[in-house]
Amino acid sequence: MGFIRFFKEEYAAILQRDPAIKSKYEILLYPGFRIMVRYRIAHKLYLKGHFFLARKIMQKGADKTGIDIHPGATIGSNFFIDHGIGVVIGETAVIGNDCTLYQGVTLGGTGKQTGKRHPTIGNNVMISAGAKVLGNITIGDNTKIGAGSVVLKDIPTNSTVVGVPGRIVKRNNIKCEQIDLDQIHFPDPVLRDITALREENKKLRKKLDKLTKRFDEYTKGREDENT
């Protein structure tokens, strides 16, 4: 891919997903753009067996941007890292097309396994700030992962995931034709459970009040009979 084409694709991706951008030349200042320029070069070198040089290029990029991408990772087109500080992408990670990562995201391993040990991310996936996706797992297309979530198991397509560990709280409710970047309106399973418990508690209290009232009436009737 030539630099001009790469520049245009990166600009289109950032323009689509970052309302703060005002000029196409601003992308030259984006840490995500700068690290991806290095990654595209380093990845080609890595595939040709120039491992040290590839790692050196990416390490310098990590020092400057705070984004640590292993040159062996496979990253598709239209990829966008917003802010980027603290993003880590491991060697065997695979990322599809049209994906978005926010600051603090880790696509990492779970130990010292060999072989495929990092996640595979499908197309049109958004991973919110601080989320951790760990191990040789697969995240399906059109999935959203909430901020701070820790995902340790495979996630099917069209899912919304939140929590520690990550739980699926919604499926088949994401617009697949465009990237959904809403990081606020996630379902809250804890609040849902608390609400359900509150309603159940109300019903139990009503039943208890009725039983108490009937018991008091029965007790009073027995006292009247004895007198």
Q: Work out the end-to-end distance of the chain between its first and last CA atoms, rounded to an integer number of angstroms.
A: 101
pTM here is 0.75
3-class secondary structure for the chain?
Answer: CCHHHHHHHHHHHHHHHCCCCCCHHHHHHCHHHHHHHHHHHHHHHHHCCCHHHHHHHHHHHHHHHCCEECCCCEECCCCEECCCCCCEECCCCEECCCCEECCCCEEECCCCCCCCCCCEECCCCEECCCCEEECCCEECCCCEECCCCEECCCECCCEEEECCCCEEEEECCCCCCCCCCCCCCCCCHHHHHHHHHHHHHHHHHHHHHHHHHHHHHHHHHHHHHHC
pLDDT tens, 168-202? 888 776 544 445 666 656 666 666 778 778 888 88
Tell me how many domains the chain contains. 2
Query: What range defines the domain where residue 49 resides?
Result: 3-187
* Most confident range, picked from 4-8, 9-13, 101-105, 161-165: 101-105
Q: Are residues 207 and 119 in the same domain?
A: no
| Same domain flag for 124 and 194 | no
For 53-74, what is the mean pLDDT?
A: 96
Same domain, 156 and 139: yes
Q: What is the pLDDT of residue 177?
A: 45
| CATH number of the domain enclosing 82 | 2.160.10.10
Q: Mean per-residue pLDDT for 59-82?
A: 94
pLDDT bracket for residue 145 (50, 70, 90): very high
Please state the rounded mean pLDDT for residues 153-170.
90
169 with 203, same domain? no
Same domain (yes/no): 63, 18? yes
Predicted local confidence at residue 176, as pLDDT: 45
The verdict on 114 and 155 lying in the same domain is yes
Q: Is the domain of 145 the same as that of 203?
A: no
- What is the percentage of the chain residues whose pLDDT exceeds 70? 87
Regarding whether 177 and 198 lie in a shared domain, the answer is: no
For residue 49, CA distances in Å to 35, 92, 174 come to 20, 15, 40
What is the structure's pLDDT at 225?
67
Q: 198 and 142 in one domain?
A: no
Same domain (yes/no): 165, 194? no
Is residue 148 domain-shared with residue 38, that is, in the same domain? Answer: yes
Give the per-residue pLDDT at 124. 94
pLDDT mean across residues, the chain: 86
| pLDDT above 90: residue 114 | no
In this structure, the answer to whether residues 176 and 208 fall within a common structural domain is no
